[in-house]
Amino acid sequence: MEHFDSCVIPSPLGNIEIVAQKSAIVSISFCNSSVLQEPSTPLLQQAQQQLQEYFSHCRTCFSLPLAPKGTPFQQKVWQALQTIPYGEVCSYQQIAVQIGSPKACRAVGMANHHNPIAIVIPCHRVIGKNGSLTGYAAGISRKEQLLELEQQYTKTD
């Protein structure tokens, strides 16, 4: 039986649930829970601290051990997402080309939608080819707010 540890922390965009298994983060997602739950392990505490630093404009990249569960294709997409620099965006098509599947834009979009580790695996940095903000599992307004947060910070650098 797999054992998971979790916590629910506040953020400027709503509460976030962090789930860890053994020594890696398996999920970070916005949640509707109004009950906050303190991190009970060093890894959850580290994740909470890094997310707080991100929202406070003190962190532009994460150094957490990650273990997202997904297909080999999804894993490839999620790895590619982690190469998008803080404050920048790229298109689904650019990700498809980067992973060697230039015609797989829709599949990249679906892998993005199923990304279990929001913010840290920055699927919010992927936009439509025409520059539009398309799809985000936590809602377009959160995607827009995350991009604005990052772009504000990069402008002040």
Helix (H), strand (E) at residue 48: helix 42-55
Q: 153-157: long-range contacts (C-beta < 8 A, 24 or more apart)?
A: 153/57, 153/60, 153/86, 153/87, 154/86, 154/87, 156/57
123 is catalytic: yes
Please return the burial class of 82, using the count of CB atoms within 10 Å of its CB with bins 0-12, 13-18 and 19+: middle
64/33 Cα distance (integer angstroms): 24
Among 7, 90, 105, 123, the active-site one is 123
Contact 46, 64 (CB under 8 A): yes
Catalytic residues: 123
